[in-house]
Amino acid sequence: MKIRTKILGLFTLGAVVPLLVSHFFAVSMASSALRGSIAGSVVDATTLMAGQISQRLERLVIDLENTVLSMPFSKLDRSNLHPALEVPYRQLPEVTIVALLDESGRAVTPPYVKSAQEARALGRESVSQRDLDLFSENVPLRLALSAEAAFGPVYFSSKGKPRIVAAKSFQAREKGKRWVFAVELSLASTCELVSRYEEEGVKSARLFDARGTVFCVEAKDAASTLVDPRTLENLVASRRIGTYTHPSGSAVLAAAAPIGVTNWSLLFEHSEEIALKPVKTSLYWTALWVGVALAIAVVGGFLLARGLTRPIESLEVAAQSISHGKYGALIEVGSRDELGRLAEAFNHMSREIQSWNRELTARVQERTEELREAHEQILKTQKLAAVGELGSGVAHEINNPLTGVIGTAQLLEATVEPGSEVARGLGDIVSGAKRVAEVVDSLLRLSQSQVSAQMHMIDLCEVIPSVLAMFEARFQEHGVVVKTSIDRECRIYAIENDLRLVLNQLIENALRAMAGGGRLLVEAERVDGGAVKLRVRDTGAGMPSEVRQRAFDPFFTTNAPGSGARGLGLPMVQRIVDEHDGRIVLESEVDRGTIVKIYLPGVARLSRA
């Protein structure tokens, strides 16, 4: 709808329509609002009162069950049963009669009642023989035997007061027999609770049984307060306000709610005439609508101008937010006219800018991470290359004299007496020279690349167990528990000796980290793309971040001097992995262990190349 149409509609609404509909809306709206308010208060009061009565009856059932459970009726002699009934008489509130019945309804022991004087002293109502007869007639014996706890129908005592019998069955002394513990209760306090919500001539609250008979009145008045059971049933089922004619002839607004654990209903009534009386008063104010019509015509122009400028101001604020880098700023779409469509277009543009900014930021971060990883890889490669060049340059210069040293020392060792001080010195020379030879060999290994022609298909299901078997004695010595998980078809093209060297070095590092025992897990599985992931995890001491960052540096080691560690193990592992077109990932935390993951191309990938 265009703005011009809105202006015409606004002035028509402000100047003409109020004159035509003022009287109708004044009456109907006030009546509807007031009726709704009264209806809500009536329904709420009914629900609240019904809940309070239900809670009172539920507490009574619990007290009754607790009394039966706490009293050892089945273990007492018949001579002691009658005196024992005094305990529940005093414990249960509003009790007038206490009885113990068998399955046929006969009294196991005479009912317990107090004399009129004793009852008054305890704040209880007195009981006559007629009351005992009425009690016997209204005990819900069959219902209690089938449901264990039950309420009987409401009846009136000889003095016209409402009563009810509550009963609970339990196992009798004889096997297979049941007794029924029954008490007569006065409903005086319940009726007093209902009366609190009444207001003479305005509001009333009544309790009804299943027959539609009210019982919170004198017995002589019960018949005059009957309500049509169907009307009461409909009100209970709908849980909403209803209207009907009271027996006195006046119209009432009414709501009803069921009372839990019984077949009672609570009916709350409010005089419709008094409830709608304010509506009549509102008729006198309908003349104000003439003045309101004129006022609307004046105020309408102001509202229209305000309605035009506010969206524009919102648009300006949002545009400034975007210019300051707060992408995604939105404005409220308050209409479907030109301004509303402009707001929708601006919001769409703002969302697009925010989306582009997020995507650009994500790409920059992704590329930055790739560059960082590439830079780290270049640094590692340069370090290995430098060490390799050093090794290739000095290896030949060292190996030749080193061979002569070892040979001469061994010849001299054969000429001296075994065990002598000279023999021990020559043995130290031989072992030290061999250690130097191993270092030189490692340097040569870093500097020399293996030819791919030496690679052949290797099954990790065979290689890993055989490597672990070589460390079995050391595992037992260090108290290390080893577990493996190797998928089938974990085959790769590799140099078997190099692969064994990688596994040997990783297991050796794990054993050093678990000097006091721990768990070692070796896994091999196929991952997406046909690659194979080799994972070695230990529960050793782990590495801090500064050590982890230098773990692949040649000659870097944290082991104590004399431990045999030369700091060339992980650099050699990385060199071998690189030669196999693989990737190695190191994860470690202090006191939580270390995980080494190696990704190598699988057979399928290489066979397609």
Query: What's the pLDDT score for residue 608?
Result: 36
Q: Over 60: is that where the pLDDT of 238 sits? A: yes
Q: Over 70: is that where the pLDDT of 471 sits? A: yes
Tell me which of 547 and 606 has the higher pLDDT: 547
User: What's the CA gap between 488 and 431, in Å, rounded?
Assistant: 43
Query: What's the pLDDT score for residue 14?
Result: 62
**Percent with pLDDT over 70 in the chain:** 72
Tokens of 111: 């009912």
User: What's the CA gap between 100 and 83, in Å, rounded?
Assistant: 12
User: What's the CA gap between 566 and 559, in Å, rounded?
Assistant: 9
pLDDT tens, residue by residue, 412-458: 777 877 778 877 787 778 777 776 766 666 655 655 555 444 778 88
Work out the average pLDDT over 406-414.
76
Is residue 464 within 8 Å of residue 428, measured between CB atoms?
no
Q: Which residues contact 231 (CB under 8 A, 6 or more apart)?
A: 242, 244
* DSSP states along 392-403: HHHHHHHHHHHH
Question: How high does pLDDT run on average in the chain?
Answer: 77
- Phi first, then psi, for residue 210 (nearest 5°) are -65, -20
pLDDT tens, residue by residue, 163-173: 889 898 888 87
Amino acid at 163: R
Please, which pLDDT band fits residue 178 given cuts at 50, 70 and 90?
confident
Work out the average pLDDT over 202-226.
66
Query: What's the pLDDT score for residue 391?
Result: 59
Query: What's the pLDDT score for residue 98?
Result: 92
Q: Over 90: is that where the pLDDT of 519 sits? A: yes
User: What's the CA gap between 318 and 354, in Å, rounded?
Assistant: 13
Amino acid at 124: R
User: What's the CA gap between 505 and 478, in Å, rounded?
Assistant: 17
Query: What's the pLDDT score for residue 606?
Result: 40
Of 505, 503, 540, the residue nearest 519 (C-alpha)? 540
Q: Over 90: is that where the pLDDT of 481 sits? A: yes
Tokens of 139: 């005990």
Please, which pLDDT band fits residue 308 given cuts at 50, 70 and 90?
low
Tokens of 389: 């060049």
Q: Over 90: is that where the pLDDT of 609 sits? A: no
| Strongest mean pLDDT among 12-16, 400-404, 436-440 | 400-404
Tell me which of 44 and 288 has the higher pLDDT: 44
- 10 Å Cβ neighbour count for 400? 10
Query: How would you class 417 by CB atoms within 10 Å of its CB: exposed for 0-12, middle for 13-18, buried for 19 or more?
Result: exposed
